[in-house]
Amino acid sequence: MKVYPSEQIRNVALLSHSGAGKTSLAEAMLFETGAIQRFGRVDEGTTTSDYDPDEIKRHISLSTALLPCEWRDTKINIIDTPGYADFVGEVCQGLVVADSAVLVVSGASGLEVGTEQDWKLVRERHIPAVVWVNKLDRENADFFRVVEQVKSRLHVQAVAIQMPIGQEQNFKGVVDLLTDKAYVLQDGKSVQVAAPADLIEEIAFHRDQLCEAVAERNPSLTDKYLEGEPLTDQELHDGLRVAMQEGSLIPLLCGSALLDVGIGPLLDFVVDHLPSPLQASQPATVDGKPLNGSVAALVFKTVADPFGKLSYFRVYSGDLKSDAHLYNANRSHEERIPHLLVVRGKAHDPVPELHAGDIGAALKLQDTNTGDTLTVKDNPVQLPPILYPEPSYSASIEPKTRADLDKLGGAVARLIQEDPTLHWHRDAETAQSILSGMGESHLQVAVDRLHRKFGTDVMLGEPKIPYRETVSGSAKAQGRHKRQSGGHGQFGDVHLEVEPLPRGSGYEFVDKIVGGAVPRQFIPAVDKGIQEALREGLLTGNPVVDVRVTLFDGSFHTVDSSEMAFKTAAGIGFRTAVEKARPSLLEPVMDVVVHVPAEFMGDVVGDLNSHRARILGMDPTSEEITEIRAYVPMAEMFRYATTLRSLTQGRATYTMHLLGYEEAPPHIMQQVAAEYHKSREQKEHK
């Protein structure tokens, strides 16, 4: 592929709800432009973009793929993103380097929730978008129904710039309302013909609607339109481009990817109406410096494997040449790029240089990760980082063998380089490794990749709840340790009182010894013995918190007493006192905020109540969205991401953070205690 100047480049992200046919559209665009000679199919695992073994197995896109092609002396960098909600991080990566977006909607299924979420991301990026309605040859397909859905659910003025010829099994082509040309299927190929005579009136009606929509958003055209003067083709083209750039108008095109109908007109629209990198807004740098013409490239995606990594980047400023020496502004070190690559799916082609606005890749960068800026050392700039949503689903991961344990840390670190929406940490309290991501499927794919790419086998499980124990009342007890085995013996004797403290107070030790009942040199040993006993409570083996322990009496032996004896006696006395002081279980409680469409609010509130939630309030944040605030026990929240998605068709979101600890109900305490003692018995019998 030849090197293109900035004005002849288009960076276009393809977005959709899963199953709308986005990957098939990308394949059709590659086929139409001659970039590939064979039309691959998702169900056969032969598409250019879905080449990963996990994608072939699941028949869905799991990662963003770069698919450059050439049309009318213009390079179009197609950025094919996943449609499944668990892989939204890949969508964020693709959109950050896109100058425009094509939202793919199934004409049969209509506008679905994934497309609504994608539209929000597009609006946040302030880039123009177009809707392409696919699968018009399917049963129940209706193009103009989708036009109305876009207006009502995306809250934007939508207008058709194409219309279908026929529908469902009789669909055979499209009419371009901008040019009055038709493209129909003949002998398995899409060819340009004159507009059908029986559609002339309908074409005129929809073209008039198009002119009205464009004129309304362009003051220089409004008067002309109201006076009944027809808009010229150039005025219509220019007005449409301006309205799209402002985000006040979204045009709809149509076709069928699998039939290869409407693909040429879509490519023409991309070239004629979507912005080049020179026309798109430039990102502000982190330190406020303008891009100065020197090289500045953002690494937006990393693909890791055992032999190295492939770093994808977009050049935002300057011309990047092969064998360049660049400066990583995030990590303050130099990188050499021995070879520049243009990537199409899994195919890599070397190029001598890339101009500003183009997208390429490099192999085996030493210390450069996703989100880093590659620039020049003498005048560096740093591009803003990629923003990802917070993880909403966690699971424990347990290596299957000792060898897997040894490899786990390095393998997960490499995986997170590839997918920054994955988070991993070791929970010191529960002694579990916790992997967090966007959903159950996300983590399962991560586990599969650990096995396939890094030879590391792990099992997913449910994270343990970090319960605490405390006491509900006060009690006194004696702790006495006496042992005689010839020579010096061991003797320690303490009298302790245990009482509860306010929640969150932790542990307090009080020394009330008078008259030397316990010698001063042994009192720190008493405190230490109590602290060791705090680590494992009587009920569930979890730490004991929020207690005050008072040492008020004791006795000693001048020969046999020692620090170890008093430490042991203190542990005995503490456990005895806790047993008398009505021990209770504390469970972690999360502060949860749910943003839910009003139509699903009743179902969400009812489900929260079934999960022992305390609803604090419900406040509308817009005409459609209500914010629900609640306190919910952590034990009820582990699969909430899946539950909420099911309840609201994926249209609700939530955040949560640890609020604190509260006393668990008796039945929960009994259940957790029973599981703990059963586990201990099983270990003792082994």
The answer to whether the CB of 482 falls within 8 A of the CB of 489 is yes
Section 1-23 average pLDDT = 95
Per-residue pLDDT at 80 exceeds 70:
yes
Structural domains of the chain, ranges and CATH numbers in brackets = 6-273 (3.40.50.300), 296-375 (2.40.30.10), 394-413+423-461 (3.30.70.870), 468-581 (3.30.230.10), 586-667 (3.30.70.240)
* Least confident among 262-276, 405-419, 477-491, 546-560: 477-491
Per-residue pLDDT at 487 exceeds 80:
no
* Residue recorded with tokens 């793929």: 65
- Please report the pLDDT score of residue 486 as a whole number: 63
Q: List, for residues 86-129, the tens digit of each pLDDT value.
A: 999 999 999 999 999 999 999 999 999 999 999 999 999 999 99
Q: List, for residues 134-147, the tens digit of each pLDDT value.
A: 999 999 999 999 99
Side-chain half-sphere CA neighbours of 589 within 13 A: 20
Helix, coil or strand: residue 535? coil
Note the pTM of the prediction, 2 decimals. Answer: 0.88
Q: List, for residues 166-218, the tens digit of each pLDDT value.
A: 999 999 999 999 988 999 988 878 899 999 999 999 999 999 999 999 999 88
Confidence of residue 219 (pLDDT cuts 50, 70, 90): confident
The answer to whether the CB of 399 falls within 8 A of the CB of 405 is yes
Q: Both tokens of residue 674?
A: 């029973």
Q: What is the DSSP secondary-structure string of 166-193?
A: S-GGG--EEEETTTTEEEEEETTEEEEE
Per-residue pLDDT at 485 exceeds 80:
no
- Please report the pLDDT score of residue 306 as a whole number: 65
Residue type, 322: S
Q: List, for residues 325-351, the tens digit of each pLDDT value.
A: 999 999 999 999 989 999 999 999 999
Per-residue pLDDT at 58 exceeds 80:
yes
Q: Both tokens of residue 684?
A: 């003792």
Phi-psi category of residue 212: left, alpha or beta, with phi > 0 → left and psi -120 to 50 → alpha = alpha
Percent of the chain scored above 90 by pLDDT? 83
Residue-averaged pLDDT of the chain? 93
Q: Of all residues in the chain, what percent are helix, strand and coil, respectively (each to 5)?
A: 35, 35, 35
DSSP secondary-structure letter at 198?
G
Per-residue pLDDT at 307 exceeds 70:
no
Confidence of residue 680 (pLDDT cuts 50, 70, 90): confident
Per-residue pLDDT at 608 exceeds 80:
yes
